[in-house]
Amino acid sequence: MFGVALDLRMSDFTAVAKNPKAFLAGIISQFIFLPFLTWIFVLIISPPPSVALGMFLVAACPGGNISNFISHLAKGNAALSVSLTGFSTLFSIFLTPFNFALWVSFYTPSANLMRTISLDYSEVFQTVALILGVPLILGIIINNKFPTLSQKATKILKPLSILIFAAFVAIAFVGNYKLFTQFIGLIFLWVLGHNFMALFSGFSLAKVFRLNLADTKTLTIETGIQNSGLGLVLIFTYFDGLGGMAIIAAWWGIWHIISGMSLAFFWKKFV
């Protein structure tokens, strides 16, 4: 997160005043519509409780940092993408624990599983604040006070963050190898459907708010690219790498890049 924050400026946050309708649509899509659609999807497919927990957690996470690059590639609104990433990260300090707890309680199998897990949501809030909030604030301060240093650090931290995320994904798969091979078909379909709903959430809200094409692309991508890295950190910290949760979050981390890049190339070439 620190590497991402080094690219943020205070102007990225104030820029929303120039495009409040698109910003509002993005926040609603990310934190209200996507969790709701996730709950509907879970009710339809009735996955194992641990898988449902993984889906709810991914839906409760903020947008992923690669969304800015993909939005730019798709010829979306790059300024809006950066603003939404920054604000969704900031809001998620409160909304990620809240949304996860809320929607899990609406699905009985996952709610019953949560009763067997000793989880203090105040600790989750503190962890999310430390992982997202502190790096976000420090990164913005450094970028505004020491822009040259920020540019140099970004070149190192961005590749490093990719390697760290890849390590989390690898650990999730190795630790749950039998589970993954046993349910690979279902896992693929579950994540495919869930990610499609995330993309649909952003696209449909953009249409409801009658946004232009560039903003529509950005909202679609911002909602379809989730910070599954944060999800994996929380899963390994508070759920002991619970199999269904870890596999869903790890595969999400791979698939949303594939779907996002595919959509960006399609838009760039044909739209």
Q: Which pair of structure tokens corresponds to residue 207?
A: 């249409």
Question: Given this model, what pLDDT does residue 203 score?
Answer: 96
**Bridge partner residues of 63 (DSSP):** 226
Per residue in 182-231, pLDDT (tens digit) is: 778 888 999 999 999 999 999 999 999 999 999 999 999 999 999 888 88
Question: Given this model, what pLDDT does residue 223 score?
Answer: 94
Domain residue limits at 188: 2-266
**pLDDT (mean) for 168-189:** 77
Tokens 């519509």 sit on residue:
33
The torsion angles phi and psi of 106, rounded to 5 degrees, stand at -85, -5
Query: Which alpha helices (H) appear in 61-146, and where do they start and end?
Result: 66-73, 78-105, 108-115, 121-128, 134-145
Residue 271 lies in a domain: no
Residue 250 pLDDT level (bands cut at 50, 70, 90): confident
Q: Is the pLDDT of residue 267 over 80?
A: yes
Nearest-angstrom CA–CA distance, 181 and 46: 20
Residue 210 lies in a domain: yes
Question: Given this model, what pLDDT does residue 201 score?
Answer: 95
Helix (H, G, I), strand (E, B) or coil at 269: helix
Question: Given this model, what pLDDT does residue 224 score?
Answer: 94
Residue 3 pLDDT level (bands cut at 50, 70, 90): low
Looking at residue 234, its amino acid is L
Residue 15 lies in a domain: yes
pTM of the predicted structure, to 2 decimals: 0.86
CATH of the domain at 240: 1.20.1530.20
Residue 61 lies in a domain: yes
Instruction: Give the count of domains, the chain.
Output: 1
Per residue in 100-136, pLDDT (tens digit) is: 999 999 999 999 999 888 777 788 888 888 877 777 7
Q: Is the pLDDT of residue 243 over 70?
A: yes
One-letter-per-residue 3-state SS of 22-73: HHHHHHHHHHHHHHHHHHHHHHHHCCCHHHHHHHHHHHHCCECCHHHHHHHH
Question: Given this model, what pLDDT does residue 31 score?
Answer: 95
Residue 224 lies in a domain: yes
> Do the beta carbons of residue 88 and residue 27 sit within 8 Å?
yes
